Structure 1
């Protein structure tokens, strides 16, 4: 499960990097820049959710005595 979440985190980080390259910093809320901002926010949320999931699995393993 750790490998799977690591791959998903790396994919989400790659999406963040890709969307940053799509931003127009002079006008960040017009056209493709708005879509890129939404993509960055969504990818950041995905990373947070995956990290929370990984931490919860570690807690579960410690409480089950594995």
Structure 2
């Protein structure tokens, strides 16, 4: 499970990097730039959720070993 979540985090970070390349910094809220901003926000949320999931699994393992 650890490898799978790590891979998903890396994919989400890759999507953030890809969407940053699509941004038009002159008009960030028009056309494809808006889609890229939504993609960046969604991937960032995915990273946060996956990190919370990893932390909860670590806490669960520590509680199980006690």
The TM-score, its normalising length taken from structure 1, stands at 0.98
Q: Distance in 2 between matches of 1:2 and 1:52?
A: 13
Q: Which residue of 2 aligns with 1:37?
A: 37
Q: Which residue of 1 aligns with 2:28?
A: 28
**Runs of 4+ more than 6 Å apart:** none
- The root-mean-square deviation of aligned C-alpha atoms, in Å, is 0.9
Give aligned pairs, total. Answer: 66
Are residue 48 (structure 1) and residue 48 (structure 2) matched? Answer: yes
Superposed displacement of residue 46, structure 1: 0.1
Q: Which residue of 2 aligns with 1:4?
A: 4
- Structure 1 residues not aligned, in runs of 5+: none
Partner of 2:38, secondary structure, is helix
Q: Which residue of 1 aligns with 2:57?
A: 57
Superposed displacement of residue 14, structure 1: 0.3
